[in-house]
Structure formats: C-alpha cells, structure tokens
Amino acid sequence: MFNLPLHSGKSVKQHAALFDSVYVSLWKHFNGAPGATLAGDTKFIGDMLHTRRMFGGSLPHAWPQVAVVSQFVDGCQEDYAKSWQAADRLITQLQSDARFKIEKIPDGTSRFLLSVSGVIADALIANALRKAVKPPHTNPATGLFQI
C-alpha cells in the first residue's frame, strides 16, 4: 500500500478511498514484527472488535508487533524512494550489458522483470550465490526473473 504512490503517482489516501477498509502490513514498510492493522472508517472498524477477538486478535498482546512502527511511519515513503533510486542504478548497470533486458511493469509496482540471454539461468544463480547474492529463481513459464 505504501509503495504505490511512488509507482502510480497517486497518494495512499487516493488508493485507500477506493475501499471500505485497507489491510496495512506492519512488516513490509514499517519494520514491525509479523502483523498488520485494518484501517477504515469508524463505522466499519467499530464492528470488527468481536470478529477480531473471534480469530484470536488481542491488542494487549499485540504491542510487540507495533512498538517500532511509529519510528518508521513518517519517513517510509522517502526511504522507499531512496531504495528505488538504488534499484534504478542497478537497472541502469544491468541494461548497460546487452545480455540483460529489464521490463518494468506498467501502472505501478515494486517489481520488475529481468531476462538474461546468452547465460544459463542456473549458472547465473549459482555464481550469484557464490558472491553472497541470492537472486530469485526464474519463472518456469516465462524464464524471467521477478525482481
């Protein structure tokens, strides 16, 4: 949710306004322990108290999941933008070699697709692992790396 503004040009509020509630992962952008929060208007969320308890949710026991989140909320979009600047530098370096082709997914996403020609994918992965880089395996249907 919080990476969408950089890729789409629309704010978090604009995306959230499309739904009556939004699931916000605490670990994806806020360095929280496993956990999430459900955001929505008071009428919708107010009725969730019993549903949450029915499935084991309990705020008295959830504080470790959110304790560090407040330290990262305010700067999360700026930090994410810096991360993408680093990713763009990597993409530029890869594209300078004719063996690598990058495809950014249109309309905003935190992924891009990497195709490699003239190199056996398994050999590339093995070489990267020897250098302490853990790339994903290729998609069996397309042969592309999803980065």
* In-domain check, residue 92: no
* In-domain check, residue 17: yes
Greater confidence (129 vs 53) lies with 129
Displacement of CA 80 from its chain's centroid (Å): 9
Dist. CA 35–CA 74, nearest whole Å:
19
Q: Model's pTM, two decimal places?
A: 0.71
Q: Are 36 and 25 in contact (CB under 8 A)?
A: yes
* In-domain check, residue 83: no
Residue 64 pLDDT > 80? no
Residue 16 pLDDT > 80? yes
Radius of gyration, CA atoms only, the chain: 20
| Domain around 114 | 99-147
Contacts of residue 136, Cβ cutoff 8 Å, sequence gap at least 6: 145, 146, 147
**Strand pairing report for 112-116 and 100-104:** antiparallel
Side by side, the strands of the sheet bearing 100-104 are: 100-104, 112-116, 145-146
Cβ-count burial of 32 within 10 angstroms (0-12 exposed, 13-18 middle, 19+ buried)? buried
> Do 108 and 49 share a domain, yes or no?
no
Beta partners for residue 36, in sequence order: 25
pLDDT at 59 (0 to 100) = 60
Q: Which of 38, 39, 43 is nearest to 55 (CA)?
A: 38
Count of domains observed in the chain:
2
Residue type, 49: L
47-51-57 Cα angle (round to 5): 115
pLDDT at 58 (0 to 100) = 61
- Which of 30, 58, 73 is a domain's end point? 73
What average pLDDT score do residues 131-142 get?
A: 88
> Do 59 and 12 share a domain, yes or no?
yes
